[in-house]
Homo-oligomer: A and B are copies of this chain.
Amino acid sequence: MDKEFRRQEGNVDGIGFLPGLAIDTVIFGFHDGQLKVLLLEYKNTALYALPGGFVHDDEDVNQAARRVLQSRTSLTNIYLEQFYVFGDLSRFDPSPLKAIMEARGYIPPAGHWLLKRFVSIGYYALVDFTKAIPAPDEISDTCNWYSLNELPVLMQDHRQIISKALQTLQRDLDQKLIGFNLMTEEFTMGDLQSLYETILNKKLIRAAFQRKMLSLGILERVAKKWTGGAHKAPYLYKFISDKTFVDNI
């Protein structure tokens, strides 16, 4: 336990990692009509943060992002997009990482690689909420879903990172048909419309939405949803699997 981070703590020069480069992932899930993101809470610091990590010097940057995602959600084949590089000088603030290390009883020497300026590559991921199993990393207490409209105070510029990810998701939604990655395996047209309305933050017209979605040729009608009464039970749909869009990077 804590082995990986302890190795990094003791590794004052950051041997084995690309210097100054971090990854932050905004992992979106959809549940109870709300868009949610996964956040970690760091031990003894009351700091909330996006799941993130560093890039090993023998792996691709995108691989590092997949590794972070898999370890925080237990999911592989997640829909993943690079969306922005956060590289402003003003975001340089070593104090949270220093606080995290100190809360663990480790006093980093001046010049420790984790206290230098980092440029962070932002990724967003879309996962099926019902399948992800959130798991904290070695230095965090909890890994939980938080609704976008009830976020705790986040460290550094992580709130801005989430905002930018959401903007990109809104832009990409229609164009790339990626919203389906947030759905459970079978869903009603109402579920899908609720997802779109939540992400886009506006009401859509039911008939037009249904017509548009069906015209895409990517949905297969499975069965009627059992609702107790036969009357007006909605249809369940699933994705035609060879038309899914997994891992675009």
Partner-B contacts on A (CB < 8 A): 18-21, 55, 57-62, 82, 84-85, 87-90, 117, 119, 121, 171, 175
Contact = CB atoms under 8 A, between A and B. Distances in A.
A145 B68 CA distance: 41
Given A20-B20, A21-B21, A85-B85, 4 more contacts: A18-B20, A18-B117, A55-B87, A58-B89
A82 B85 CA distance: 8
A20 B119 CA distance: 11
Nearest to A83: B82
Nearest to A60: B88
Contact of A88 (B62, B82, B85, B175): B62
Contacts of A19: 19-20
A88 B61 contact: yes
Contacts of A117: 18, 57
A121 B89 CA distance: 16
B61 A119 contact: yes
Given A20-B18, A20-B20, A21-B21, A85 B121 contact: yes
A60 B84 contact: no
20 contacts: A18-B117, A18-B119, A19-B20, A21-B21, A21-B119, A55-B119, A57-B117, A58-B89, A59-B89, A60-B88, A60-B89, A61-B85, A61-B87, A61-B88, A61-B119, A62-B87, A82-B84, A85-B85, A87-B121, A171-B175
Contacts of A57: 117
Of A21, A82, A87, chain B has the most CB atoms within 10 Å of the CB of: A87
A121 B117 CA distance: 17
Sort A-B residue pairs by CB-CB distance and give the 9 closest, nearest first.
A61-B87, A19-B19, A60-B88, A85-B121, A60-B89, A18-B20, A19-B20, A82-B85, A61-B119
A134 B18 CA distance: 34
Nearest to A122: B85
Which one of A18, A58, A84 has the greatest number of beta carbons of chain B within 10 Å?
A18
